[in-house]
Every structure is written in C-alpha cells, then in structure tokens.
Amino acid sequence: MTTIGPVEYVIFGFPVNKFGGEIAPELGKLINGGLIRLLDLTFISKDPDGNVTVLEYDALGSLPGFAELDAEIGGLLTDDDITYAAAGLEPNSSAALMIWEDLWATPFTTAVRNAGGIVLEGARIPHQLIEPAMTELAEA
C-alpha cells in the first residue's frame, strides 16, 4: 500500500471574478517540485444575477496554464462540496476548490503514524489572521 501524506481541502475565493495569470504556473511549480500532488480541482463562478457555472478539472483546457498541470484527478470533490462553495459565493465572484496531498510532509506523518500518533485537531490559519500576529511579535 502506498503511503499517503496529509491531504488538504481548501476553497479560495475571488471577489469580482478577478483572476491573474499567476495561479497555474505557481501550482505547476509545487507539483513539478514534488511538494504536492493535485488530487482534484474545480472552479465555480457566480454571475451578477446569481447564476452558477461549474468548470471541473477536465474542462480546464480553456484556462491558460491549467491544461499543462500534471494532476491525478480522482473525482474527490462531490456535488455537495460544489453546492456548499457556490452557496457561499457573492454574485459576480468565483471560487477554486482544491484537494491536494502534501508530499513534503509524508515522511514526517509516516513517522507519527508509526509511533502510534493520530491527528487530534488541525486547521489552516488564514493569512489575514496570522500576518498581523507575526508582525506584532517581530515588533515586540
């Protein structure tokens, strides 16, 4: 059996449907560098009238850079995940739903598992919360 590293699920929001061209190349660097394995990716957009459009990974050829990503998409995102993300979107905004494996953390998490350890709790701390705290600590 293949050892699986930590797997993360995240929804990135994009107010006013504003995308730059920097996402796909940076995601590609993470994949090609062996840091992550992309397991699933879906884009959702809501127009000004509240109509929702879903663009799943296999249809991303229309988005620059995403067709070239080396991904092992396995259909992990469900209709419920997509409905949940779409319900939280404001009109004229978008979201990217992603699931990836943190390959860089696999040796450490394997060691924790081999020692009988289990995850009791974990969370991603949003940038807008951690940045002010780290700035305050640096200034103290």
What is the C-alpha to C-alpha distance for residues 86 and 40, in angstroms, rounded to an integer?
17
Which range among 13-17, 68-72, 132-136 shows the weakest confidence by mean pLDDT?
Answer: 68-72
The structure's pTM equals 0.83
CB-based contacts of 94, cutoff 8 Å, min separation 6 = 13, 14, 17, 19, 43, 44, 45, 46
What is the C-alpha to C-alpha distance for residues 137 and 130, in angstroms, rounded to an integer?
11
Question: Which pLDDT score, from 0 to 100, does residue 4 have?
Answer: 86
Sole residue written with tokens 């949003």:
126
For 92-121, the pLDDT digits (tens) are 999 999 999 999 999 999 999 999 999 899
Domain assignment present for residue 135? The answer is: no
Residues pairing with 14 in the sheet: 94
Domain assignment present for residue 84? The answer is: yes
Domain assignment present for residue 139? The answer is: no
Give the residue with greater pLDDT, 54 vs 22. Answer: 54
What is the C-alpha to C-alpha distance for residues 93 and 91, in angstroms, rounded to an integer?
6
Domain assignment present for residue 116? The answer is: no
Mean pLDDT over each residue of the chain, to the nearest integer: 88
Q: Domain total for the chain?
A: 1
What is the C-alpha to C-alpha distance for residues 52 and 97, in angstroms, rounded to an integer?
14
Domain assignment present for residue 115? The answer is: no
Q: Which two tokens stand for residue 87?
A: 């319900």
Domain assignment present for residue 99? The answer is: yes
Q: Which two tokens stand for residue 107?
A: 């040796």
Name the band, by pLDDT with cuts 50, 70 and 90, for residue 126. Answer: confident
Domain assignment present for residue 113? The answer is: no
Range of the domain at 83: 7-108
